[in-house]
Amino acid sequence: MDVLFIALFAGLGFIVAYHTYGRWLGRRIFQLSTETVCPSESLKDGVDYVPTKRSIVFGHHFTSIAATGPIVGPAIAVIWGWLPALLWVLLGSVFIGAVHDLGSLVVSLRNKGQSVGDVAGRVLNPRVRLLFFAVLFLALSIIIAIFGLVIAAVFRQYPAAIFPCLVQIPIAIVVGLWLHRRGVSLVLPSILVLVVMYVTVIVGDTNFNFAFLGWEAGEWGLQALNQWFASWPTIVWVAVLLGYSYIASVIPVWVLLQPRDYINALQLVSALGLVLLGLIAAAMIGGAPVTEGAARQPLELSAPMFQWNPAGAPLIVPFLFITIACGAISGFHCLVSSGTSSKQLQRETDAQFVGYGSMLTEGFLATLVILACVAGLGLGVAAADGGMLTGTEAWASRYASWGEAEGLAATVGAFVDGAGNFLAALGIPAVVATALMGVFVASFAATTLDTATRLQRYVVQELAGALRGAGREGAGAGAPVSSGAGYANPVAWLGNRYVATLFAVVVAGALASLPGPGAEAWTLQTAGGGGLILWPMFGATNQLMAGLAFLVIAFWLWRRGKPVFFIVLPLLFMLIIPAWAMLWQAFVQAPGQETSWFQDGNWVLLSIALTTIILEIWMIAEAIKLFPRVKGVVERHDFDQVAVSEASPD
């Protein structure tokens, strides 16, 4: 019952936080109003700026920010014990992550849907804008390069998830056209889509024997198709997924991005509901018998409450706080809030539901992941000798050391097996439960990939505008050079959405095409893992991005004479912890290694780490110098409460 109590306490806590702290932020601090004209209306262009119902924007936002982060991070971090991981998720989500997401969304809404990086150029100064863009571009390049590898790895591990994930694309396009052209209610499409998607999960890995006029053709069907797709080399998947991301990122959001994310959100929220019901069933009557005729296994916490020095693991502080990112706070979220979601909200008051609410939903997802790993695994996992392990033995078999717990296969496997045990307690067959959880993980990853590509396009366009110093003043992402003659400047071409997206895809593809770490030569099989070269940098860089976003939010509030006391501690924490982790990896010991990047001679990671730290110090110095002089002084280009009738060109 302890496990059930934790789940219910977390869920209730998030609901209370939304209606108290979240409401206070929305009404008292950010003063959200239904009278304010949102960028989706004032700059409506039918491509990026599209007024959209809040439930659809919530679906896009939630699936985009979640990705595999709230699964992989907590599934690794429980090696330090379930309580530290749980406390960071609960407290981090409510007081840091959701504040960061809502603040980034509101600041962007009040600045024509511009990214936090672009706003930094006004609330601080233009130098900070360029420095911020450099950090954003690096982080997004790593994400885009790595997620093709992530999706390919998930498909290899769970081939049954491939067909349901692929079929989402045509279904999403049909739903998008249906909703956009007919303007029908969401109820019927939601029910139909959810039914179709669950049917694809149930029958999406079946085969049948085919014979014609006595000729035996053997087994054909979706299982064979899934296995064929799973056999593709990683670089092939990367190329296909980047091509898909290019198309998805330049077409109007209502064609694919919005409906696909809405479908994913329906499926993912319903899957979360099933996992929670399975947890309740396991707590009440026990898990499914591990062998035929055996008693039902009681649901208990199989992991230790604290484990300060796991074998091979780095220090719990600061690494717990960069290992669990998306489940508590993630800098990537400020890009989604200020990159895509702010361009789609049709009412400013929807910001609390989308920004604050999505982060709390993700926090609850991370809570269920923790419980799946520390209690669900204890209901029974297969042992190496073919037998079954339960209780603490089952947990220890996956978390004997950092090396065994780390890595995509291990972390996703721990969650899928633990959550699958919850579903099995409901009587759901193991093969269906595994396929459902595989689709759950792969869908999150795919959603983040094309959202990150669209976000990188915005960053490239805004960065091009900053470098050329031209274009329409104050325009959001996507504004091209004002005249055709401007395209004589090569940088000006990056203001075009097609060219900017191509640039983003090519850069990420070039990085991904390199052999992964440890590969001696380029081959078709080793290519595709190049993103792993820079991946060790991402955890700290991502969290540092959150600290820099807090800096922008704080200055935006400070210039308007609004309270900033609630943001000071999160701001300092998210600037100090990532820098600490980055320096530790650079000069003391990198996680999973016995040496640091400096000792190992990894000059690529070391140089990027030092450059990032220098950029952070520079931005902080600029902020400290400016802070005393700007209280109540609104920046020169203030877009608050201004309705702009002119549409954003592209």
In the chain, what percentage of residues exceed pLDDT 70?
A: 91
Bridge-partner residues for 345, per DSSP? 52
Which of 47-56, 102-111, 347-356 has the weakest average pLDDT?
47-56
Residue 343 in contact with residue 388, Cβ under 8 Å?
no
Q: Which residues contact 35 (CB under 8 A, 6 or more apart)?
A: none
d(CA 521, CA 310): 34
What would the mean pLDDT of 615-626 be, rounded to a whole number? 88
The end-to-end CA distance of the chain, in Å, is: 57
H helix intervals, 560-650? 565-587, 597-600, 603-626
What's the token pair of residue 308? 């300060």
What's the token pair of residue 378? 């204890």
Q: How far is CA 102 from CA 88, 94, 337, 341, in A?
A: 19, 11, 8, 11
344-367: string of b/e by CB count within 10 Å (b at 16+)?
A: bbebbbbbbbbbbbbbbbbbbbbb
Confidence band (pLDDT; 50, 70, 90) for 398?
very high
Dihedral sign of CA atoms 164, 170, 173, 178 in order: negative
Q: Which residues contact 583 (CB under 8 A, 6 or more apart)?
A: 609, 613
Confidence band (pLDDT; 50, 70, 90) for 39?
very high
Q: Which residues contact 107 (CB under 8 A, 6 or more apart)?
A: 116, 119, 338, 552, 553, 556
Which amino acid, 101? D
d(CA 104, CA 21): 17
d(CA 374, CA 359): 22
Which amino acid, 512? A
pLDDT at 150 over 60: yes
In the chain, what percentage of residues exceed pLDDT 90?
A: 45
pLDDT at 14 over 90: yes
pLDDT digits (tens, 9 = 90+) for 345-367: 999 999 999 999 999 999 999 99
Compute how many other C-beta atoms are within 10 angstroms of the C-beta atom of residue 217: 9
d(CA 345, CA 179): 17
Confidence band (pLDDT; 50, 70, 90) for 403?
confident
What is the rounded radius of gyration, in angstroms, for the C-alpha atoms of the chain?
24
Q: Which residues contact 594 (CB under 8 A, 6 or more apart)?
A: none
162-201: string of b/e by CB count within 10 Å (b at 16+)?
A: bbbbbbbbebbeebbeebeeeeeebeebbeebeeebbebb
Confidence band (pLDDT; 50, 70, 90) for 478?
very low
d(CA 108, CA 80): 37
Please give the angle made by the CA atoms of 9, 12 and 18, to the nearest 5 degrees. 135
pLDDT at 131 over 60: yes
pLDDT digits (tens, 9 = 90+) for 302-352: 999 999 889 889 999 999 999 999 899 999 999 999 989 999 999 999 999
- Angle at which helix 332-339 crosses helix 98-109, to 10 degrees, equals 30
d(CA 611, CA 135): 10
228-260: string of b/e by CB count within 10 Å (b at 16+)?
A: ebbebebbbbbbebbebbbebbbeebbbbbbbb
Please report the pLDDT score of residue 184 as a whole number: 64
- DSSP character string of 56-119: HHHHHHHHHHHTTHHHHHHHHHGGG-HHHHHHHHHHHIIIIIHHHHHHHHHHHHTTTT--HHHH
pLDDT digits (tens, 9 = 90+) for 218-253: 455 778 888 888 899 989 998 999 999 999 889 988
pLDDT at 616 over 60: yes
Q: How far is CA 76 from CA 113, 342, 380, 401, in A?
A: 35, 32, 19, 10
pLDDT at 27 over 90: yes
More confident residue, 43 or 194: 43
Which of 65-79, 470-484, 541-555, 595-609 has the weakest average pLDDT?
470-484
Please report the pLDDT score of residue 485 as a whole number: 42
Which of 429-443, 504-518, 634-648 has the weakest average pLDDT?
634-648
Q: How far is CA 80 from CA 84, 97, 507, 522, 593, in A?
A: 7, 21, 37, 37, 17
What would the mean pLDDT of 618-639 be, rounded to a whole number? 82
What would the mean pLDDT of 451-471 be, rounded to a whole number? 78
Name the average pLDDT for the chain: 85
Dihedral sign of CA atoms 150, 155, 161, 162 in order: positive
Confidence band (pLDDT; 50, 70, 90) for 583?
very high
pLDDT at 441 over 60: yes
pLDDT at 414 over 80: yes
DSSP 647: P
Confidence band (pLDDT; 50, 70, 90) for 143?
confident
Compute how many other C-beta atoms are within 10 angstroms of the C-beta atom of residue 95: 18
What would the mean pLDDT of 398-422 be, rounded to a whole number? 87
d(CA 472, CA 367): 45
What's the token pair of residue 471? 């274009």
Which amino acid, 59? G
Confidence band (pLDDT; 50, 70, 90) for 214?
very low
d(CA 363, CA 65): 11
